[in-house]
Amino acid sequence: MKQITLIFPSSPFLLHSSVYPPLGILYLTAFLKKYEIEVQCLDLGIGHTIDMIKYSTIGISFTTAQRKEAYDIIKKLKGYHFIAGGPHPTHMEQECLNNGFHKVIKGFGETALLEYLTGQKIELKSLDDIPFPDRNALPIKEYYYPINDLLSTPVMTSRGCPYSCSFCATMQAQYELNSVDYVINELDYIHQTYEYKAFMLQDDLFAINEK
């Protein structure tokens, strides 16, 4: 069975590093598990450390503000295969390779990472083909962001943006929505499973569709 450890570096630029869980690696986890890949998730912002790494293939998802920590991880570990993903690697592929990464996954990574790990090429018919983020892969209740005194958790109802503004780090100039049923089912699942009553929408451009 293929195995991978997915790491999200700490986020000292936020109010605190445990404001919200990293949905990116949780989407990847759910998708890879669907194809029988064993996945470990570590979030260095909630006390996880690189000493906890279980697998020899390591994927690190990071932003520009997190790049130093990502590169430092590579310097500390020997004999591992490193894969970069997320906003910074998407735009700075060569820099990542120069700093020790063996592969850069650009843009939204589910199908590309699956193909890289297994050789299996999957074509998604719609965004709904991607499972809900695997919120059991991290201790979800250790993240804290209240909305009107209610504990909240992030969700996404779309991906991308149809525009290409020069000041923005949007990974791809394309936009796709989840179906209404998908979003309702996910909100209901989160409420029933984890008892959340408040949600943060993390879409790049939630209000583009007036409907």
CA distance linking residue 49 with residue 72, whole number of Å: 13
- Closest to 19 (Cα-Cα) out of 133, 109, 148, 147: 147
CB 154 within 8 A of CB 23: yes
Distance (Å) of CA 42 to CA 49, 63, 154: 8, 16, 18
- Structural Rg of the chain based on CA atoms: 17
- List per-residue pLDDT tens for the chain, 211 residues long: 799 999 999 988 887 778 889 999 999 999 999 999 999 999 999 999 999 999 999 999 999 999 999 999 999 999 999 999 999 999 999 999 999 999 999 988 999 999 999 999 999 999 999 999 999 999 999 998 899 999 999 999 999 888 878 777 665 567 899 999 999 999 999 999 999 999 999 998 887 776 6
- What backbone torsions phi and psi does residue 99 show, to the nearest 5 degrees? -100, 15
The H-assigned helical ranges of the chain are 23-34, 67-76, 87-91, 93-98, 110-118, 180-194
